[in-house]
Structure 1
């Protein structure tokens, strides 16, 4: 097994979740494992697709298939299946800003930029994440870098259940607190300084929030997560789900 590639145990967990198996509708993939390992190599190394080692076959073939899987939602479905065994006691929300590489900013402007925006860090995107009690990723939303943290929170919490929702003070809004109350969960969110009436929170439970920050640190070992090289949001989201799936594969 070479660097960045799946172990036998990891491959056994996802092999049946992938399209292109014998008996599946459509074209049968020649070697799903080789293809996934090639995508992992790109994700971890951050290299250009044209630098993909020849052992993974032609880079254009791998890139074309990766793109098809992104648009078909394959990477997200595999990730969602892996997260079924989640710890439901707490939910945590946070976000991180990633710089956009110059190759992500190519092409036409306007709506063609796809979730890219200007913030203090320059041209950036923002990854919003929902995590479970152990700090493992459950759901993602990608927005432009200048978007407010709290804007993606209701979507992340849709159809979720937990005893408490943990977030930092950037998420202190009456609307989000009402959304959490509707879930019959406790909002463990510090109050902002400008809040007229201070709302106390459980400081003991809040200490667990560092787990989602540590998860972001692990995810940023994947260079295609830590920096946005992809102009298309669908491709960038595909790499986000690949990195997140590896957190769930011991």
Structure 2
């Protein structure tokens, strides 16, 4: 068997997701016989950052691949794939953070920057992903990121230091490892040693931004950029 080309799924990685994709026997629509070629084409665009027009012919006609990518995005396929892969999170602690992504000129109509708000597990794997405009504050999204999780500790930076977030963390039965915001009148002690582990979320952002379609937003439509982000997250879970 020939080795997968650069960016493509290995047989082991393909086996982990193939049954999660549309087109299985008995389902309406086209057969899944070319799903692997299609997914590898999408991965090529994600990793290279190239325009859809430049998609190599081995993956099919670019307009057809792009339309299918959009159809799967609207149907929530990419979201379901990454949700299925998140089956055994390292929930000793969860780290929260955000990162800004600059828009390419062709995507500037969607805003000059987009913020990725993320929760990762103790092994630095993405658990929850939310997109907002770049100027949006971090704290209001903490409940969305923590919903359904059951960590022993929640690590976050000063931007997440509020009574509401600390109460939310306590309701989860977890300890809040959050440095105090300078505006807080009464300081609250935090575990400085445990806080060092928050670098897992920073490393996760670095790995996600190895995919050039994540490092720079080329997509005008939020659903397209979010789908690429979900696919990149799925790749981290299959490694």
Superposition TM-score, scaled by structure 2 size? 0.96
CA distance in 1, matches of 2:124, 2:190: 20
Aligned residue number for residue 217 of structure 1: 206
Aligned to 2:89, the other structure's residue is in SS state coil
Aligned residue number for residue 86 of structure 1: 89
Aligned to 2:98, the other structure's residue is in SS state strand
CA distance in 1, matches of 2:161, 2:203: 22
Report whether the alignment pairs 1:239 with 2:223.
no
Report whether the alignment pairs 1:10 with 2:48.
no
Aligned to 1:31, the other structure's residue is in SS state helix
CA distance in 2, matches of 1:132, 1:25: 37
CA distance in 1, matches of 2:103, 2:73: 19
CA distance in 1, matches of 2:96, 2:200: 11
Report whether the alignment pairs 1:67 with 2:70.
yes
Report whether the alignment pairs 1:161 with 2:133.
no
Aligned residue number for residue 109 of structure 1: none
Aligned residue number for residue 60 of structure 2: 57
Q: Shift in Å at residue 34 of structure 1?
A: 0.3
Q: Give 1:72-221 correspondences, 5 Å limit.
A: 72-106=75-109, 113=110, 116=111, 123-221=112-210
Q: Shift in Å at residue 151 of structure 1?
A: 1.8
Q: Please, which runs of 5 or more residues in structure 1 have no aligned partner? A: 107-112, 117-122
Deviations 1:193-244 (A, max 9, x none): 2211111111121111001100100110001111111111111000001111
Q: Shift in Å at residue 105 of structure 1?
A: 2.4
Q: Shift in Å at residue 169 of structure 1?
A: 1.0
Q: Please, which runs of 5 or more residues in structure 2 have no aligned partner? A: none
CA distance in 2, matches of 1:39, 1:139: 22
Deviations 1:129-166 (A, max 9, x none): 01111111011000000011112111111122111100
Q: Shift in Å at residue 21 of structure 1?
A: 2.1
CA distance in 1, matches of 2:124, 2:201: 5
Aligned residue number for residue 41 of structure 1: 44
CA distance in 2, matches of 1:177, 1:77: 30
Equivalent residue pairs, number: 236
Q: Note the aligned Cα RMSD (angstroms).
A: 1.0
